[in-house]
Amino acid sequence: MIKKLLVAIMCVPLFINAQSSYNLTLVSDFDWNGLSYDSEGSDIWGWKNSTTGVEYALVGLNSGFSVVDLSSPQNPTESFFIPGVNSTWRDIKTWGNHAYVITEGGGGLLIVDLTDLTGQTHTYYTGSFSSAHNIYIDENGVAYIFGADVGNGGAIFLDVATDPMNPSYLGEWDDYYIHDGMVRGDTMWAGCIYEGEFYAVDVSDKTNPQTLGHHSTPNQFTHNAWVSDDGDYVFTTDEQSDSYIGSYSVEDMNNIQEVDRIQSNPGSNSIPHNTHVDGNFLVTSWYRDGTTVHDATYPS
């Protein structure tokens, strides 16, 4: 959970091992404490206004959705807040000038037109589901709803490119519950947490997705999976104490191989939550250990 938004700038990348990272310089923070709504947070994403160049932090709080203006990084201010059903989990992604916010509290998918910084231009989409754990939007404007309250809670595919305020259903993959996932090209990488494995799924035909391969992760509680820029490796986290970031060669889907694993602070019992690829680096959030940046130039 986060109670404060830490506004930081990445300076010189000086990663040597798990005890070093990009050196991060704290510029300021934004504190929701003292406001009239629950300030506990669960997710953060970003959006840049293409007209003004101003960047905004999009933050999921227990009690709703907050948009924070970062035009003055030393003095961030909240632009607007949309209240919602109270929930520990509220996840956000964007497509163009729209934010898509999902929660396990119910009420459907909140869709917000970010060009209206009053927060008044928003709607809700439910379709077949009311709640879900997570969301990802690919480069083609397809939203993937993970962990919904229908079926096994796999992935529901929605077209948000054609009409951003009115998504249309495309299909689903519902073999297993997906806690978190991402998509690049025609491949979905899914963290099937209760199976203890990540799954690679061909989603080129949204009406008939096909499993390509799968592999267990170190602590068999697979929280998320993220593919390298070249598509040859996948990195995973397990939401378990004293777990690892796992590295896997996925060049041959019929023979996926674990090639390495690493911890932020061995023996600390810290829990990895999410890892994202940024070029040759892995940026990972941890319970207790904060954020680490690992050099993944050589994944094995």
Question: Per-residue pLDDT tens for 61-101?
Answer: 999 999 999 999 999 999 999 999 999 999 999 999 999 99
The pLDDT value recorded for residue 39 is 76
Q: Greater confidence, 30 or 207? A: 207
- The model carries a pTM of 0.92
Residues 285-295: pLDDT tens digits?
Answer: 998 888 888 99
Contacts of residue 52, defined as CB under 8 A and 6 or more positions apart, other chains included, come to none
The lowest-confidence range among 10-14, 111-115, 193-197 is: 10-14
| DSSP secondary structure, the chain, as one string | -BSEEEEEEEEEE---STT--EEEEEEEEEE-TTSSS---EEEEEEEE-TTT--EEEEEEETTEEEEEE-SSTTS-EEEEEEE----S-EEEEEETTEEEEEETTSS-EEEEETTSTTS--EEEE-TT-S--SEEEE-TTSEEEEES-SSTTS-EEEEE-SSSTTS-EEEEEE-SS--SEEEEETTEEEEEETTTTEEEEEE-SSTTS-EEEEEEE-TTS-EEEEEE-TTSSEEEEEE-STT--EEEEE-SSGGG-EEEEEE-SSTTS--EEEEEEEETTEEEEEEETTEEEEEE-SS--
Residues 191-218: pLDDT tens digits?
Answer: 999 999 999 999 999 999 999 999 999 9
Reported as a pLDDT band with limits 50, 70 and 90, residue 38 is low
* The one-letter amino acid at 30: F
Main-chain phi, psi angles of 253, to 5 degrees: -65, -20
Give which of 193, 82, 228, 207 is closest to 142, Cα–Cα: 207
Strand partners, 123: 111
CB-based contacts of 111-114 (< 8 A; 24+ apart in sequence): 111/164, 111/165, 111/167, 112/65, 112/67, 112/82, 113/164, 113/165, 114/47, 114/49, 114/56, 114/67
Q: Is the dihedral of CA 64, 35, 1, 289 positive or negative?
A: positive
The pLDDT value recorded for residue 18 is 42
CATH of domain 175-300: 2.130.10.10
Burial 189-212 (b: 16+ CB within 10 A, else e): bbbbbebbbbbbbbbeeeeebeeb
Residues 145-173: pLDDT tens digits?
Answer: 999 999 999 999 999 999 999 999 999 99
For the chain, the structural domain boundaries read: 1-139+149-159, 175-300
Is the pLDDT at 296 greater than 80? The verdict is: yes
Residues 264-279: pLDDT tens digits?
Answer: 888 889 999 999 999 9
Contacts of residue 43, defined as CB under 8 A and 6 or more positions apart, other chains included, come to 59, 60, 89, 90, 91, 92
Residues 220-264: pLDDT tens digits?
Answer: 999 999 999 999 999 999 999 999 999 999 999 999 999 999 998
Q: Greater confidence, 38 or 277? A: 277
* The one-letter amino acid at 288: R
Reported as a pLDDT band with limits 50, 70 and 90, residue 10 is very low
As given in the structure block, the two tokens for residue 80 are 């607007």
The pLDDT value recorded for residue 145 is 99
Pair 236, 198: CB distance under 8 Å? yes
